[in-house]
Chains A and B, each alone.
Chain A
Amino acid sequence: MTPKYIWLAHFVGLFMTCILSQDCNLLKVHLSTVTWQNLKILNEMSNSIPIECLREIQDFKLPKEIQPEKTSIKYIFYEMFTQAINIFSQNTSNSTWDKEQLVQFQNKLYEQIEYLQQCLNKENKEKEDMKEVKADEKEHSGAEVLWQSQLKLRRYFSRIYNFLKDKKYSRCAWEIVRVEIRRCFHYFETFTKS
């Protein structure tokens, strides 16, 4: 590849997320792209888990029974990104991460939260406009399924929160949490393909 094309590819990577963050119709493509970028930062933030921390690994039981459909994917991602930014805003002084990387990660998460919030507001507005339309039975059950998914997701994140608290935000605890969040992002990213 000629230097010209390398430059173009790099620029395109940045450009795609910038441009796509303005349009909610391209939500899935956008979510896929930004999740990969987040995963990249999570990888670069640290070297692999130190051996002494392997003892403390625990199963947080990622709720794989959640299968977000097209309509509910933005809720799931909104919840996921909000919880991720919450977790990483706790006391990270014991971690050995590059502060710049951490800030960049939080920055990215915030950007996506804003974007999803804007898309959710738009959707709520549309729903309000359509209030006269008779509510579908399917919609109700869909809403119930969404509730269940959100609750499962919250239970998962509260397990992570409690783990951090119990381990007093130690370095090992942070490393384990970092890897777990990476797993979580990776799992839900697969649903942006369908």
Chain B
Amino acid sequence: MLTLLRATTLVLVAGAPGLLPAVAGEKNLKPPENIEVYITDDNSTLEWNSSDGTVGNVTFSAVYQTPEMDDWIKLPGCQHTAGTKCYFSLPDLDVYEELQLRIRTEKGNDTSSWSEVYSFIPFKKAQIGPPKVHLAAEDKAITIYISPPGTEDNVMWSLDEKAFTYRLVMWKNSSNIEERIETVHPGGKIYKLSPETTYCLKVRAELLMYSKIGIYSPVCCINTTVENKLPPPENLEISANNESYILKWDYAYVNVTFQVQWLHGFLKVISGTSLHKWEQIPNCEHIKITYCVFLRKLLPKGIYYLRVQASNGNSTSFWSQEKKLNTAIYTIIPPPVISMKPVNDSLRVYVNAPEVPLIYEISFWENNSNTERKYQGGKTDFTIANLQPLTVYCVKARAHFVSESWNKSSIFSDIVCEKTKPGNSYKSWVIAGICIAAVFIVVIIYIMKNLLRCFNYVFFPSLKPPSNIDKYLSEQPLKNLLLLTTEEQIERCSIIENTNTNTIMKETNQIDEDHKRYNSQTSQDSGNYSNEDENTGSKASEELLQLETGSPETNS
């Protein structure tokens, strides 16, 4: 049983891997801790702590990995390092990409497990190293030539070389107290110094966008020269009018000529030393006056620097302080374009202007009066109400641009005049109404007249014969014929035969019934009658009439 126990314990002991080396008596290697990376420009330092100490043959090795890679790669410069620090450099690395590191302890053939992974973005961690500074001196100024931090083909700041801003601290060698702190461009100058003095300075680079402030360069000192015979021109001032810029300066001495030069603003940033890129301003070479007028066309919209130098044949002065010209400040606001439209008893005003927040000042007056009304506002479309009808009003406007730093005004626009619409709307409506009513009445009268005529025609016809028949009735006998019904004409007539009387008497009873029947009978009775003319025939009928009147007497 005891042997069993011993066996199991041995097995247990053998089974536990960590214990075995301890049993064997070897050192248990622990991975390093507290890993830290320090980067300055392209040079990186890896530091760590190790509880195993640095005694003996303890070494460390590091590996790295980027997200793209599948495997860990040995970190050059950090393989089998003694000590808890190593230096490495990865020129082909993308400094904006995440990098992972891990280290392990080694002793002989044994290695510890890997440490915790240390992850970082090199660019984010990196600190800006010292720039390189080179000085040149004048009598009252120093020119500072600065090279960006890092080597020329450095990877870390390859995109930032032109983006660095440089901060300078300067003091007189004699007294450390006097300090000047300024921002300076590479190739820039420090002015207002004393001649024949030693000045010392140090410069650091900054990337404010990423809140990075660099390390100061080593201190550099230089002596300013003896005072020059001719001082440089001073107090450069720029002004502008419609067509040109005017540069003015002050100069103490007479009998000197000046020359003026200009430089593109961006060249100060792009090129380290913009010495050779200064250009002459034409008609400002060898001038005797202390101002230079040049066309705006020469320096189209942008940022420029101007400088002036004096010379008197024998010697020349140093260049004046550079004056920055930002053409934007001198832009002219164009006057707004106004149009007016009369609407009822008001005038609608339209201001044609760019889509910029400008304030418009509008002056408004009646044509032949002196009193002006002023309106101010940002609206480009508004109405002026309550005006006199049929009156001419005039308007002019100008634009103002107001911002925190400065304000600008345009000149007044052209004067625009417009007449308001005629009179009261009420009056005009009444007149119109009356006219319409008059027309309406005339129309009604005409219609009524026609209706009346119609009515009369239907219910009260005229007895007058139509005019064309009237013509033919101009003869008397015909007239008499037509008037038979009203007037009776008696003609004397005598009876030729008695035999016909009975038949005639029979037939006279029927006389009222049918005149035609009787006519045919009488023609039978005597041939004599039919041959005679109509008058006789009519006479016969007259006879009958007589008989008829007489017959009742005979019958009774």
Check B209 against A14 for contact (C-beta < 8 Å). no
Check A109 against B266 for contact (C-beta < 8 Å). yes
Check B161 against A86 for contact (C-beta < 8 Å). yes
Secondary structure of the A side of the interface? helix
A22 to B403, CA, bound (A): 8
A152 to B303, CA, bound (A): 30
From residue B178, how far is it (CB to closest CB) to chain A in Å?
Answer: 27
Check B264 against A103 for contact (C-beta < 8 Å). yes
Given contacts A8-B334, A8-B352, 12 further A-B contacts (CB under 8 A): A4-B337, A15-B332, A15-B333, A18-B327, A22-B406, A85-B162, A85-B266, A89-B271, A106-B264, A108-B302, A110-B264, A154-B96
Check A111 against B96 for contact (C-beta < 8 Å). no
Residue numbers of A with Cβ under 8 A of B are 4-5, 8, 11-12, 14-23, 26, 75, 78-79, 82-83, 85-86, 89, 103-104, 106-111, 113-114, 120-121, 124, 147, 150-152, 154-155, 157-158, 161
Which residues on A sit within 8 Å (CB–CB) of B334?
Answer: 8, 11-12, 15
Q: List 27 A-B contacts (CB under 8 A).
A: A5-B337, A8-B352, A15-B332, A15-B333, A21-B328, A22-B403, A23-B404, A23-B405, A78-B209, A83-B159, A86-B159, A103-B264, A106-B266, A108-B302, A110-B265, A110-B269, A111-B303, A120-B208, A150-B209, A150-B210, A151-B96, A151-B124, A152-B96, A155-B96, A158-B96, A161-B158, A161-B159
B374 within 8 A of A: no
Check A19 against B408 for contact (C-beta < 8 Å). yes
Which residues on B sit within 8 Å (CB–CB) of A11?
Answer: 334
B401 within 8 A of A: yes
A147 to B125, CA, bound (A): 13
A65 to B162, CA, bound (A): 27
From residue B268, how far is it (CB to closest CB) to chain A in Å?
Answer: 9
CB-CB under 8 A for A19 and B405, given A78-B209, A107-B302:
no
Q: Which of A75, A86, A104 contacts B163 (CB 8 A)?
A: A86
Which residues between 98 and 146 of chain B lie within 8 Å of chain A, taking CB atoms? 121, 123-124
A121 to B355, CA, bound (A): 27
Closest 5 CB pairs of A and B: A110-B266, A18-B331, A107-B302, A18-B328, A89-B270
Which residues on B sit within 8 Å (CB–CB) of A20?
Answer: 356
Q: Which of A15, A121, A147, A155 contacts B97 (CB 8 A)?
A: A155
A119 to B431, CA, bound (A): 67
B517 within 8 A of A: no
B301 within 8 A of A: yes
Which residues on A sit within 8 Å (CB–CB) of B97?
Answer: 155
Which residues on B sit within 8 Å (CB–CB) of A121?
Answer: 208
Check B302 against A110 for contact (C-beta < 8 Å). yes
A154 to B271, CA, bound (A): 21
From residue A78, how far is it (CB to closest CB) to chain B in Å?
Answer: 7
Check A23 against B266 for contact (C-beta < 8 Å). no
Nearest neighbor of A9 in chain B, beta-carbon distance: B354
From residue A23, how far is it (CB to closest CB) to chain B in Å?
Answer: 4
B94 within 8 A of A: yes
Most chain B CB inside 10 Å of its own CB: which residue of A26, A154, A161: A154
Check B269 against A85 for contact (C-beta < 8 Å). yes
Which residues between 184 and 226 of chain B lie within 8 Å of chain A, taking CB atoms? 208-210
Check A22 against B209 for contact (C-beta < 8 Å). no
Check B303 against A107 for contact (C-beta < 8 Å). yes
A26 to B401, CA, bound (A): 13
From residue B243, how far is it (CB to closest CB) to chain A in Å?
Answer: 14
Q: Which of B94, B326, B331, B352 contacts A14 (CB 8 A)?
A: B331
Interface size on B, residues (CB 8 A): 44
B423 within 8 A of A: no
The interface bits of chain B over 400-419 (1 if a CB of A lies within 8 angstroms of the residue's CB, else 0) are: 01011110100000000000
Which residues on A sit within 8 Å (CB–CB) of B161?
Answer: 86
Which residues on A sit within 8 Å (CB–CB) of B332?
Answer: 15
B357 within 8 A of A: yes
Most chain B CB inside 10 Å of its own CB: which residue of A16, A23, A157: A23
Nearest neighbor of B324 in chain A, beta-carbon distance: A114
Which residues on A sit within 8 Å (CB–CB) of B329?
Answer: 22
Which residues between 267 and 324 of chain B lie within 8 Å of chain A, taking CB atoms? 269-271, 300-303
Check B357 against A26 for contact (C-beta < 8 Å). yes
Check B337 against A106 for contact (C-beta < 8 Å). no
Which residues on A sit within 8 Å (CB–CB) of B264?
Answer: 103, 106-107, 110
Which residues on B sit within 8 Å (CB–CB) of A89?
Answer: 162, 270-271
Which residues on B sit within 8 Å (CB–CB) of A4?
Answer: 337
From residue A31, how far is it (CB to closest CB) to chain B in Å?
Answer: 15
Which residues on A sit within 8 Å (CB–CB) of B271?
Answer: 89
Check A23 against B162 for contact (C-beta < 8 Å). no
Check B301 against A155 for contact (C-beta < 8 Å). no
Most chain A CB inside 10 Å of its own CB: which residue of B159, B264, B269, B406: B159
Nearest neighbor of A157 in chain B, beta-carbon distance: B159
Check B356 against A16 for contact (C-beta < 8 Å). yes
A75 to B210, CA, bound (A): 10
CB-CB under 8 A for A23 and B403, given A17-B301, A85-B266:
yes
A12 to B210, CA, bound (A): 36
Check A79 against B209 for contact (C-beta < 8 Å). yes
Which residues on B sit within 8 Å (CB–CB) of A85?
Answer: 162, 266, 269-270
A144 to B269, CA, bound (A): 29
A85 to B404, CA, bound (A): 29
Which residues on B sit within 8 Å (CB–CB) of A23?
Answer: 403-405
Which residues on B sit within 8 Å (CB–CB) of A124?
Answer: 208
CB-CB under 8 A for A158 and B162, given A103-B264, A120-B208, A120-B209:
no
